[in-house]
Structure 1
Amino acid sequence: MTSTEAPAPTIDGAALLDEVEAFHRRFNVFPTEGAYVAVALWDAHAHLLDCFDSTPRLAFLSPEPGSGKSRALEIVETLVPHPMVAVNASAAALFRAVSGTEGRPTILFDEIDTVFGPKANDNEELRGFLNAGHRRSGVTYRCVGDGSSQSVQPFPSYCAVAMAGLGSLPDTILTRSVIVRMRRRARNEHVEPFRQRLHEKGGHALRDRLGKWADSVRKAVEGSWPAMPEGITDRPADVWEPLLAVADAAGGMWPRRARAACVELVAAAAQDDEASLGIRLLIDLRDTVFCGIDRMPTAAILECLTAMDDAPWVDMGGKPLTPRGLSRLLSGYVTGANKPIKARPIRTAAGTVPRGYYAEDLADAWARYCPPPPPKSATSATSATPQVSGGESVAERLPGICYTATETATPDARTA
């Protein structure tokens, strides 16, 4: 450098990550603040892959289509180095791409449910590739050559992988992943439409700056061992170590935010979701079962569901829907407080405490996944409570434990 040349300006890593997060927020609605933090850190970690012993998979999963998974993957694509969009790619094609000479790709696997979903056969070869590539030392062995001249050759498998799909993934992949449970946007949640020709350049500019920043902190990151939040050990620690190292290198508020996101996402339950059957259940619960009742015991809900004409609940694999089946279908959705919907005790004036469900717990899922309820006509106004066989309402069949929002109950019943 001559005396007239100014030194290269130092890149503010915290400000750069702020910009990456803001870019995601323009086009993506993630379920929690922690998800924005985790995804921005994951984008940056892909530029520093050789600094770590392992790389977490990033999984955008949802119970229903139209929840923004593919859009999230599109935004990630603009921010990571050497993106390779893989849909129905074979394991052989992937490990040859990773071991090639043109730079390790960041693999973006959309529609991963077509590979591991319930209608797909087990794909052990691809599962093995994704599992092996989680660690820096991971390799895939293949025979190379013809006939008797074949030899076993190791192919490096270590690479960053982001996935999007319906439902869930095999446990061996889930435990190696940062999981973002996407939800369909509520009517009051708005994002900009992503236009590739218009917005891709902005993402690429951030990507190039991330690459330059990564080069400037590479040596510091290689020698770092970030402190884990209390209780984060074993596999979750392996998953989050690279992201926390990136946050520590960036500084500012990112170390604190990263650890908060780590605790939040690790603690989140990894629940399998059912797709269209789950939405049918939510609609039936809102429009036919609850109908102004603010809490109902599980037995009453099941009685109402199985009494419905042209509904699947009376024949679920040869038997009626059970309390366990109802719990499994609802557990993939969350309350307004972002907790899985679960049965809770319903304390009654009669002194019994059956378990059941509260309308307030279902309200957020109803708003996000169900179409607007049909308008009530004057003739239907008298049918505000669900009917079971014989024309008797659930509230009449089980008095004292099905409360409407305006019904008077004892203080114990109201605070349960």
Structure 2
Amino acid sequence: MTATIDGAALLNEVEAFHRRFNVFPSEAAYVAVALWDAHAHLLDCFDSTPRIAFLSPEPGSGKTRALEIVETLVPQPMTAVNASAAALFRSVSSGNGKPTILFDEIDTVFGPKAGDNEELRGFLNAGHRRTGVTYRCIGDGGQQTVQAFPSYCAVAVAGLGSLPDTILSRSVIIRMRRRARNEQVEPFRARVHEAEGHKLRDRLSAWAEHARGFVMGAWPDMPDGVTDRPADVWEPLLAIADAVGGTWPERARAACVTLVTASRANDKGSVGVRLLTDLRDHVMTGIDRLPTVAILDRLNSMDDAPWADMGGKPLDNRRLSKMLAEYMTADNEPIASRNIKTGASVLKGYYAADLHDAWQRYCPPPPESPLPPLPGAENLV
């Protein structure tokens, strides 16, 4: 009879193994990474798999080392640096078991000096879901046929800067930073320490077989406020935490709240959402209407905003109108400028009442107080 494996104690050891070689930015990061390692052994139990992204503004922040430690702990690791989308989706669909893809230097693929790499972005996005496939034409000339390649697999990435929004929203983000002088770690020596990691990996695999019945079909309770895509990202990790027990369910949910909150704070959204938010928080605060010329003057004078340099030119009336017309008023009409009487003249401008519905739907909560309702809105159903 096989001895029961203490999942909580095992995950404690996995976390301790990471702590020996990496200084992560928070306790939440250690929890998330250990849970992610374990979830890679149970991919077939989940509807989706979160990407985990080690990102930093500068090199020398421990990103590659983090991937090296993860590599020793996950099943069938496949290290990819500048790999093509074709190579990756063929590896995933080869029938030899799903690799865990570890993509280092991801900034060379999606960074400011790289191209769009839509094929790779599409692969990473599609592979987030168990049903995700990548379609390609196979054959020559008129004999080509369309073939679906399964793309579902666990992916960890590391790189400088950021990632496309569609990948960030599917990821647990670990914002790495350089170690301070008083932060010491043990040097990682592959010849010595890989074997230790592999022993933990094999024990994780054995635990996963015992836990499969518990994890399959589990619907873990989400912390308040974690919904939609963040809930998809964290559901597998919380299911793992509930399966191992001990202090992990509580620690996992605390980590979830911490990292989801941090990701929202760093999420500037699209340029359209940024425009709406700046109009609400910096331009039209306490004002029910404002001429376009005054709006542009205020936007273009903001030091930490992109409006003064939109492709080499400041934001102008035409572009402002085009951007705001993408959003609707409460009456489901495109937001548009209207006449505003200013003394003896009439100028074109925008009304807060027209923007209010878009502010509520798209913008993050205001920094200090909730957005007040429009007069009379309390009577609307």
Within a 5 Å distance, the mapping from 1:7-406 to structure 2 comes to: 7-269=1-263, 271=266, 323-324=303-304
What per-residue deviation string (whole Å, max 9, x for no partner) do you get for residues 324-357 of structure 1? 169xxxxxxxxxxxxxxxxxxxxxxxxxxxxxxx
For the 8 Å contact 2:46–2:217, the answer to whether it is kept is no
What per-residue deviation string (whole Å, max 9, x for no partner) do you get for residues 103-143 of structure 1? 11000000000000000011000000000000000000001
* TM-score computed with the length of structure 1 as normaliser: 0.64
- TM-superposed CA distance for 1:148, in Å, is 1.2
The whole-number CA distance in structure 2 between the counterparts of 1:158 and 1:83 is: 14
- Runs of 5+ unmatched residues, structure 2: 269-300, 307-381
The whole-number CA distance in structure 2 between the counterparts of 1:65 and 1:272 is: 22
The whole-number CA distance in structure 1 between the counterparts of 2:16 and 2:162 is: 28
What is the one-letter code of the residue matched to 1:170? P
What is the one-letter code of the residue matched to 1:92? A
The whole-number CA distance in structure 2 between the counterparts of 1:124 and 1:15 is: 42
Q: Which portions of structure 1, spanning 4 or more consecutive aligned residues, are displaced by more than 2 angstroms?
A: 269-273
Q: Secondary structure at the match of 2:304?
A: helix
- Runs of 5+ unmatched residues, structure 1: 1-6, 274-320, 327-416
The whole-number CA distance in structure 2 between the counterparts of 1:188 and 1:29 is: 11
- TM-superposed CA distance for 1:34, in Å, is 0.3
The whole-number CA distance in structure 2 between the counterparts of 1:200 and 1:228 is: 35
What per-residue deviation string (whole Å, max 9, x for no partner) do you get for residues 64-104 of structure 1? 00000000000000000000000010000000000012111
For the 8 Å contact 1:168–1:272, the answer to whether it is kept is no
For the 8 Å contact 1:67–1:184, the answer to whether it is kept is yes
What is the RMSD computed on CA atoms of the aligned residues? Answer: 1.7
The whole-number CA distance in structure 2 between the counterparts of 1:92 and 1:73 is: 22
Q: Secondary structure at the match of 2:159?
A: strand
Counterpart of 1:336?
none
Q: Secondary structure at the match of 1:324?
A: coil
The whole-number CA distance in structure 2 between the counterparts of 1:271 and 1:254 is: 26
What is the one-letter code of the residue matched to 2:15? E
For the 8 Å contact 2:78–2:99, the answer to whether it is kept is yes
For the 8 Å contact 1:142–1:154, the answer to whether it is kept is yes
* TM-score computed with the length of structure 2 as normaliser: 0.70
What is the one-letter code of the residue matched to 2:233? V
